[in-house]
Amino acid sequence: MEKKAPRTTVNEVLSLFTQLSACSTLPSLQKRCVELLKERCLCHVRLYHWHMDRDPELVADTDGNAEKTAKPIGSLPRFSVDLMLIKRLTDYQAGVQWQHTGNRSACAVSSRSRFATILVFDATVTPGGKQVCSALLSMYSNMFHLMQYGQTDSLTGLLNLQAYEEKVAALYHGALGSRNRRRSGDESSAKDACFAIIDIDHFKAINDRWGHLYGDEVLVYVAHMLRDFFRAEDMVFRYGGEEFVVILISANLRHGKRVMERLRKQVAEKEL
Catalytic residues: 242
Phi, psi for 89 (deg, rounded to 5):
-100, 60
CA–CA separation, 154 and 160 (whole Å) = 9
CA–CA separation, 37 and 16 (whole Å) = 10
- Nearest Cα to 238, choosing from 148, 153, 150, 147? 153
CA–CA separation, 164 and 246 (whole Å) = 9
CA–CA separation, 20 and 36 (whole Å) = 9
Kindly report the number of other CB atoms within 10 A of residue 85's CB atom. Answer: 23
Helix axes 10-21, 127-151, angle to 10 degrees: 30
Cα dihedral angle (108, 124, 15, 116), rounded to 10 degrees?
Answer: -10
CA–CA separation, 149 and 28 (whole Å) = 17
Our measurement of the distance from residue 4's CA atom to the centroid of its chain's CA atoms, rounded to an integer in Å, reads 32
